[in-house]
Amino acid sequence: MQSRLGTLEEGKEPVTASRTNQSRPLPLRLLKFFLLFLIVGIGASIVSIFMVRRFGINTVALVQSSYFRPCLEQSGSIESWIRPPSNLLHTMNDTELFWKASFVPGIKSYPFKRTPKIAFMFLTKGPLPFAPLWEKFFKGHEGLYSIYVHSLPSYTSNFPPSSVFYRRQIPSQVAEWGKMSMCDAERRLLANALLDISNEWFILLSESCIPLQNFSIVYRYISRSWYSFMGAVDEPGPYGRGRYDEHMAPEVNLSNWRKGSQWFEINRELAVRIVEDSTYYPKFRDFCTPHKCYVDEHYFQTMLTINTPHLLANRTLTYVDWSRGGAHPATFGKDDIKEEFFKKILEEQTCLYNNQPSSLCFLFARKFAPNALGPLLAIASKVLRI
């Protein structure tokens, strides 16, 4: 075969170069070659059919599998589907990332032992001043959580390999408060976290957030909840219903319009709904813009109220103090960190948990200034049991 092919290749040049001189012997040689090719081909097919029938061996598949084995070694097992991505710094753009993240298995039961994890998603500008407190919080609970950090693209962190934040940065873009780029960043965090099939719950946090309970309590509270914690209220007045724009109808009507804190905790089903949305996204992008409307307080809240109202607790798990008034909530510094302060947040609350009254309403709190770290670490074990 090889040598025949060789002669044909050699014979090709004279054909074009001197067509008139050698017009007779060539077609005969070509004909002979094709005849041989045909015979060899038919022979191979017959042998192949015979082997498949007789021994169930697919020779083509045999050749392929031995040929490709080195590069596809891992895709033969379920492992490659359930193992989280080894490197968070992928090269997918948002379109590609969201598409990949929107995959949902059709069969609901997993054919392997799946330990559901909580994805802690930090939406930050740069440094994480409370990293030492979070390290304490996560210690000893490996396998039950994943961490993702979205910061300004210009920022590079320098966590040591021993840190839970080491190499947990995802490809990021500039996110501006109140604008769609903020929701884009949140969707980007969700999409990256969805790539790990073991992540079942998704919590959005900022660099000024702290945990109020230890990990065991947080995991139990979230995993046993019937609902996802997305603050969503129908608020009358200029800062609630007043921000609705009639151009959003009929996808979004005034009666669907909701307002709530940006800081959510949602389950995997809702995370996929947010990442795959293309119905409500253009409406909010075009008709909920500053300074009339702040999209991070309305988009997911309204969209999920329309799609899956029965899955929402309509409250957030992240405590914030608006009592001082104004456009921004109170920021707590080192002088605020007293036992009485946490007593108020931890004990003097009432809410519904799985339709029952409860005093455990908040698992996280904001906003804390970096100088609160020292006092927080000092009281963490006694007051927060972290």
Residues that bind ligand NAG (CB under 6 A): 93-96, 214, 216-217, 227, 249-250, 253, 256, 305-306, 309-310, 312-314, 385
Q: Which is nearer to ligand NAG, 251 or 321 (CB)?
A: 251
Q: How far is the CB of 314 from ligand NAG (least distance, A)?
A: 4
User: In this structure, how many other beta carbons lie within 10 angstroms of the beta carbon of residue 186?
Assistant: 23
Provide the minimum distance between the beta carbon of 65 and ligand NAG in the complex, in angstroms, as a whole number: 31
Question: Is residue 364 classed exposed, middle or buried when 0-12, 13-18 and 19+ CB atoms within 10 A define those classes?
Answer: buried
Give the Cα separation of 356 and 64 in Å (integer): 60
Nearest partner of 84 among 187, 245, 171, 192, judged by Cα: 192
CB of 202 or CB of 215, closer to ligand NAG: 215
In 10 A of CB 239, how many CB atoms? 13
CB atoms within 10 A of CB 285: 15
Token pair 């809702």 in the structure block, residue: 270
Provide the minimum distance between the beta carbon of 140 and ligand NAG in the complex, in angstroms, as a whole number: 8
Closer residue to ligand NAG in complex, CB, 138/207: 138
Q: How far is the CB of 183 from ligand NAG (least distance, A)?
A: 14
**Cβ neighbours around 379 below 10 Å, total:** 15
Q: Judged by CB, which is closer to ligand NAG: 10, or 348? A: 348
Pair 385, 213: CB distance under 8 Å: yes
Nearer to ligand NAG, 260 or 272 (CB): 260
For 264-284, b/e burial (b = at least 16 CB within 10 A) is bbbbbebbbbbbbbeebbebb
The least distance separating ligand NAG from the CB of residue 344, rounded to whole angstroms, comes to 16
Return the biggest CA–CA distance within the chain: 106
CB nearer to ligand NAG: pick between 42 and 249: 249
- Nearest to ligand NAG of 227, 299 (CB atom): 227
Residue given tokens 């081909």 in the structure block: 41
Is residue 311 a contact partner of residue 228, using CB atoms and an 8 Å limit?
A: yes
In angstroms, give the least distance from the CB of 149 to ligand NAG.
21
**Cα 8 vs. chain centroid, distance in angstroms?**
56
Nearer to ligand NAG, 37 or 341 (CB): 341
Distance in Å, CB of 269 to ligand NAG, minimum: 15
Distance of closest approach, residue 19 Cβ to ligand NAG, in angstroms: 46
